[in-house]
Structure 1
Amino acid sequence: MAVTAEWIAVDWGTSNLRAFAMHGETVLAEAQSDKGMSQLEKAEFGPALMTLIDGWLGAGVTDVVACGMVGARQGWVEAPYGTVPSAPLTGNAAQVPGTDARVRVFVVPGLKQAKPADVMRGEETQVAGFLAKNKNWDGVICLPGTHTKWVHVSADEVISFRTFMTGEMFALLSGSSVLQHSVGEGWDEAAFEDGLGTTLSRPEAIAAELFGIRASDLLNATPAAAGRARLSGLLLGAELAAARPYWLGQNIAVIGDVGLSEVYAKALKTQGGFATIADCQEMTIAGLTAARNLLG
């Protein structure tokens, strides 16, 4: 069935491009490709987008509202960062010049923090979406992923945030370090919980505990699934220990992939932190809807 979009929401990350044909706040259709920011030269962004959305365009000009790495310096157009404390959406979306005449493309700016130095792109839209759906909510929002964000929000503003490279560290250690020989597929819940507890109580021991995964494999033939789970637990425990000033005693929400969000929520629960899990795609669309409403 043919779909004509009133407007189009776009989540354009480093690896993937996702587009949603919208009518108001309702998703009519969706499409995706592997044409993420890292795959494209400047001149290729427009064609990549139009290939995905061409069938949704009507007779007039359709607004496209995008978030994510498409607004980075290496992206289609640089959308300058807003400075915290501020609303997650600053209202200063950057319009892409020279687009196909059938569309107007706007890119949501990210947020930056002067001290300690930190930046985000894309997560601010998910935060905005969560706040739009949870009025007058104060607390801490965790956005787990390759670079996990912990975001303190109050009175509908982002007060501060910190980024942890936990996901990237897991990928590097499991795929490129000596641990690649001792970390495999599968899962061992007891090994995860032991690793989590170890670095939650003694995060300074993480470097030694990491090598212990390799040593345990060599000396005790520890299964690769246990090595994988322990590595995950050690890294997450160190992150939670460092982020404790954010989440301790706070309302907590986790926005991310369902499986990963559940891991974070379960780990927080062991420390008395009870988290609400929100769907990341739903929050992104809600945030892009809020950004569209700011365009006027």
Structure 2
Amino acid sequence: MGERVTPDWIAVDWGTTNLRAYAMQGATVLARAQSDDGMGKLSADGFEPALLALIGAWVEPDPVPVIACGMVGSRQGWVEAPYRTVPCTPLAETLTRAPTARPLDVRVVSGLSQANPADVMRGEETQVAGFLALNPGWDGVLCMPGTHTKWVHLSAGEVVSFQTFMSGELFALISTQSVLRHSLDSEGWDADAFADAVSNAMSRPEALAARLFGLRAGNLLQGTQTPVTRATLSGLLIGAELAAARPYWLGQNIAILGLGDQARAYKEALRPQGVEAMLVDTEKATLAGLTAAYRNTKALT
């Protein structure tokens, strides 16, 4: 049996597919735990048992505060944490308390909304708060790649505006459920093909649908290999996104949330446009944001 962990509080990042928990002492991580009990597979009465199955050893015998962000606060989640309308600070002064059967103090961070154009975020606001805590005084645009990539304009510690693009979800759908799945039956990546596709999509975004089918035709008639096809598909989608998001990144300081392949792809796509973006560790930003939320709550009690 390992050494008993006795945290001051517990940070929880609860998304649609995964549940991640961190035993915290101040801003220091004492232990980590993860499960696949995401919001998407739980009923209303399943959240408390799923959380206790993961962190039970950390809250026995004495409960400690739990600060949670993500889809746990959605309408389909444990408790609906109301959206706050931008422009505003990424974190509210108060959090929404989740109903519990046991003596647990679980509080959920609110998401952000935008009226025009209509947009929402839930979970990313905590990462934004963490990024600003790690980079005080920073003004610019934070690019947050993912299934639904977000471009977030930050100024004077507030979220001014943001825009969401479904590029990541489109890549997943096209590569697994469209005719292109027959041309993407293996892994691989061609950096030159990616760069060419980004450039093409930025210069002619209106031709995107035709270029997509051209990937299948190229595979059939010219034997184009998967690394080229996969990189081209990604480049076309990201290039079209960059063309639409130009007002967000042109002439701005840019930071990209993530250190993995997707974040690096955005960084490489921006470089030919004269934009040198810095990469940000996602976990560090999330934990810094949850820590800020915990400190705000503690200061009010």
| TM-score normalised to structure 1 length | 0.98
RMSD: 1.0
Aligned-pair CA distance for 1:229: 0.8
Q: CA deviation at 1:224?
A: 1.7
Tell me what 2:233 maps to.
231
1:58, distance to aligned residue in structure 2 (A): 4.8
The answer to whether 1:150 aligns with 2:145 is no
Secondary structure of the residue aligned to 1:100 is coil
Q: Is the 1:149–1:163 contact (alpha carbons within 8 Å) kept by the matching residues of 2?
A: yes
What is the deviation of 1:274? 1.1
1:131 paired residue number = 132
Q: Which runs of 5+ in 1 are unaligned?
A: none
3-state SS in 2 of match to 1:270: helix
Structure 2 counterparts to residues 81-100 of structure 1, below 5 A: 81-100=83-102
Once the two structures are superposed, residues 62-91 of structure 1 have per-residue CA deviations (whole angstroms, 9 ceiling, x without a partner) of 100000000000000000000000000122
Residues 1:252 and 2:230 are matched in the alignment: no
Q: Which residue pairs with 1:285 in the alignment?
A: 287
- Identity over aligned residues, as a percent? 60
Whole-angstrom CA distance in 2 between matches of 1:100 and 1:286: 28
Alignment of 1:32-47 (within 5 A): 32-47=34-49
Match of 1:26 in 2: 28
Matched residue count = 295
Instruction: Give, as a single letter, the amino acid of the residue that structure 1 aligns with 2:224.
Output: T
Distance (whole Å) between structure 2 residues aligned to residue 223 and residue 60 of structure 1: 58
Contact 1:99 1:105 in 2 (8 A): no
In the alignment, which residue of structure 2 is the partner of 1:70? 72
For 1:71 and 1:16, the matched residues in 2 are separated by: 14
Matched with 1:11 is: 13
Q: Which amino acid aligns with 2:221?
A: L
Tell me whether 1:122 sits opposite 2:128 in the alignment: no
One-letter identity of the residue aligned with 2:205:
P
Aligned to 1:182: 183
> 1:278 Cα deviation (Å)?
0.6
Residue 170 of structure 1 is matched in structure 2 by 171
Match of 1:215 among 207, 214, 217: 217
TM-score by length of 2: 0.96
CA distance in 2, matches of 1:249, 1:258: 25
Q: Who is 1:113 aligned against?
A: 114
* Contact 2:113–2:121 (8 Å) recurs in 1: yes
Unaligned runs of 5+ in 2: none
Q: Which residue of 2 aligns with 1:140?
A: 141
Q: Does the CA contact (< 8 Å) of 1:72 and 1:79 recur in 2?
A: yes
Matched residue SS, 1:62: coil
1:256, CA displacement in angstroms?
2.5
Matched residues in 2 for 1:292 and 1:263: separation? 33
Separation of aligned partners in 1, 2:101 and 2:171: 39
State whether residues 259 and 280 of structure 2, in contact with CA within 8 Å, keep that contact through their aligned partners in structure 1: no
Partner AA of 1:285 in structure 2: L
TM-fit CA distance, 1:201: 1.1
Deviation at 1:258, TM superposition (A): 2.2
Distance 2:291 2:162 in 1: 23
Amino acid at match of 1:70: V
Runs of 4+ in 1 over 6 A off after TM superposition: none
Q: Does the Cα contact within 8 Å between 1:258 and 1:279 map onto a contact in 2?
A: no
